[in-house]
Amino acid sequence: MGRHSATSGERLDMAANDLPTADGERRPDERRLGWDERHSHGDVEGNGPNPTLMLGTAGLTPGWALELAAGSGTNAVWLATQGWQTTAVDWSPVGLANGRAKAQSADVEVEWLERDLFEWTPPARSYDLVAIVYLHVPPEERAIIYPRAAAAVARGGRLLIVGHDKLNAAEGQGGPADTVRLFTPDEVAAELIAADPRLVVERSEVVRRVPPPGRGPIDNLLILRRP
């Protein structure tokens, strides 16, 4: 069972929309402001938890869970309703506020942390489940965030990544149009196992929500286990 060691209720010690630059100045971070704007218009996650996350967690025994890039918290709140002791991390205070409201409505406890995943490293070997759903950043940024997520998985725990598959751009629905941000589960598995060969691939698959010839979102599901 993972041991949770993130500090409850911590916030970044800086103005909500400012991030430090290399020379120590603070300036608005346009990408984060963009996410604040999107989250201020409602739920980017749509209705209900992500079906591929539900598929990937089916049958797991709930323990300590960490969702990175949790957005408006729909998945984190759902995990909490399933019995997971859940921490949700995002850099958008607007998304996190939406998540808090959802948790209150669902009458569940979730820990909400405002963090920039390019800066923050989750506590190592601490969670039974680390989930990332639809975080589509360029490969060089993925190389910063994903190995840290894998390192946060406790022995016996799992890293679960759900993405819009590369096929989604041409054959699917929704998701980023910028194909540089899309990935296959096999390529992410290879990247993470190169960084930590102890990880074991449990699932690496494309998940079509609508069978062909119908057209719907094409996700991928990667689950790595730490023995």
Ligand X SMILES: C[S@@+](CC[C@H](N)C(=O)[O-])C[C@H]1O[C@@H](n2cnc3c(N)ncnc32)[C@H](O)[C@@H]1O
- The footprint of ligand X (CB under 6 A) covers 35, 44-45, 50, 69-71, 75, 90-92, 95, 116-118, 133-135
Minimum distance from CB of 99 to ligand X (Å)? 10
Say if residues 142 and 75 touch (Cβ distance below 8 Å). no
* Nearest-approach distance from CB 175 to ligand X, in angstroms: 9
Closest approach of Cβ 156 to ligand X, in Å? 24
Report in angstroms how near the CB of residue 196 gets to ligand X at its nearest.
21
C-beta closer to ligand X: residue 89 or 189 = 89
Nearest approach, Cβ of residue 204 and ligand X (Å): 19
Which residue number, 117 or 222, has a Cβ lying nearer to ligand X? 117
Residue closer to ligand X, measured from CB, 92 or 204: 92
Whose Cβ is closer to ligand X: residue 85's or residue 92's?
92
Of 1 and 180, nearer to ligand X (C-beta) is: 180
DSSP state string for the chain: -----SPTT---SS-TTEEE-TTS-EEE-HHHHHHHHHHHTS-TT-SSS-HHHHHHHTTPPP-EEEEES-TTSHHHHHHHHTT-EEEEEES-HHHHHHHHHHHHHHT--EEEEE--TTT--PPTT-EEEEEEES----HHHHHHHHHHHHHTEEEEEEEEEEEEBHHHHHHS-SS-S-GGG-B-HHHHHHHHHHH-TT-EEEEEEEEESS-TTS---EEEEEEEE--
> Nearest to ligand X by Cβ — which residue?
71
Interhelix angle for 93-106 vs 30-40, to 10°? 30
- Cβ distance to ligand X smaller for residue 129 or 135: 135
Residue 88, number of CB atoms within 10 A of its CB: 29
Give phi and psi for 29, each to the nearest 5: -95, 110
Shortest CB 60 distance to ligand X, Å: 18
